[in-house]
Copies of this chain bind each other. A is one copy, B any other.
Amino acid sequence: MTKEIRVQDIGEQGLLQRLQSFCPPDLIGDDAALLSIAAGHSLVVTTDTLVDGVHFSDRTTSPADVGWRAVAANLSDLAAMGAEPIALTVGLSLPGSVTVNWVEQLYQGMIDGLQPFQTPIVGGDICRSSVISLAITALGQVRPAEAIRRSIAQPGDAILITGYHGASRAGLELLLNSELGNALEKTAFDRLVQAHQRPIPRLDVVTLLTDLRTQYPDLRVAGMDSSDGLADAIVQICRASRVGATVKRDQIPVPPEFTPWVSNAQAIEWMLYGGEDFELVLCLPIEIAEKLLVQLGDGAAIVGKITAEQTVSLQNKDAIVELSLNRGFQHFSVR
């Protein structure tokens, strides 16, 4: 019965009061939140908007998963800058007919996604709209000299990926057509679905890089996250740094869950263009990349290197193809 209470039944203030239990009490109650930044650190800020029917749908995503994924995407942008998280704000628009239970599950998903990183939600805004949308701004901090930038890759750098690619796209496929996974063990099936529904931002890599800096104080790391796909990330870094890259196809680890059901061609398609794996793609001197690599889990690999020549090529056993962005995800695109 209580599950059926709708937002319009309790009003904006009623909903805000319920949601305040998800926020630290000392950080709310004023027109804005007040936060500390560590000395010598710059502020890092990133915003993402998710819209019902575009970025999520009831078919593949529970409200808790929507919350988790929204938080993961934003924390991943902070990790992509080499930053540690400080806080999040949430702007939520929704029809009054949405149940309060749906909203509370959304918030619970966000809290669960934030919990390992001890990052609070410090406020936000709720308003009426004909469509549910969620605008999240994540705030982090980094010493400016230690920021990971897209534009600072140099010829000779190793290209390191922090984990498997394509798993999120495969998980989505299984959610849409679960019979495709008939040949899969349940644990493998679940791992792929989890990769899609509950991606984990690689803030642990930021900590590892901080540790490496005690040995290499001048360490320069270029990079970004692979939220729009591995191919997109490599091409974006090369463009911003005015360099090129050679990537070796057989050095990109194939998720082991692919074996019984995904063709080779499909696998490479998902690994390069699937997107939403939220791994990091880093460019750094080879000897340091190798030290970092041994501390990362399965799926991490050095997949190629940065070149002075400004083309991005993918080398197969028997062919070299130029990587392009044409298949990257774009909203509003005319097909």
Chain A interfacial positions (CB closer than 8 Å to B): 7-13, 15, 29-37, 39, 41-51, 53-55, 76-78, 80-81, 83, 86-87, 89-93, 96, 122-131, 133, 135, 137-140, 142, 144, 147, 149-151, 224-225, 240, 330-334
Contact = CB atoms under 8 A, between A and B. Distances in A.
Contacts of A87: 45
Contacts of A151: 29-30
B43 A43 contact: yes
A125 B135 CA distance: 9
Contacts of A44: 32-35
A167 to B, nearest CB: 21
A96 B133 contact: no
Contacts of A130: 53, 130-131
Nearest to A130: B131
Given A54-B128, A91-B137, 14 more contacts: A12-B331, A12-B332, A31-B46, A34-B144, A45-B122, A47-B90, A47-B123, A47-B124, A49-B92, A49-B126, A54-B127, A91-B91, A127-B331, A130-B130
30 contacts: A11-B330, A12-B331, A29-B151, A29-B240, A30-B80, A30-B81, A30-B147, A30-B149, A30-B224, A31-B77, A31-B78, A31-B224, A32-B45, A32-B80, A34-B43, A34-B142, A35-B42, A35-B43, A45-B89, A46-B123, A47-B91, A50-B127, A51-B93, A51-B127, A54-B128, A91-B135, A125-B135, A133-B133, A135-B135, A137-B137
A150 B54 CA distance: 39
- Among A41, A54, A86, chain B packs the most CB atoms within 10 A around the CB of A54
Contacts of A125: 47-49, 135
A8 B334 contact: yes
Contacts of A93: 49, 51, 133, 135
Contacts of A15: 332
B11 A334 contact: yes
B33 A46 contact: yes
A43 B43 CA distance: 9
A53 B51 CA distance: 17
Q: 7 smallest A-B Cβ distances: which pairs?
A: A135-B135, A32-B46, A31-B80, A12-B331, A49-B91, A91-B135, A137-B137
A33 to B, nearest CB: 5
Contact of A91 (B13, B30, B48): B48
Contact of A331 (B9, B11, B122, B240): B11
Nearest to A74: B32
Given A31-B81, A47-B90, A48-B91, A330 B39 contact: no
A18 to B, nearest CB: 13
Contacts of A330: 11-13
Contacts of A51: 93, 127-129
A126 B144 CA distance: 27
Contacts of A131: 129-131
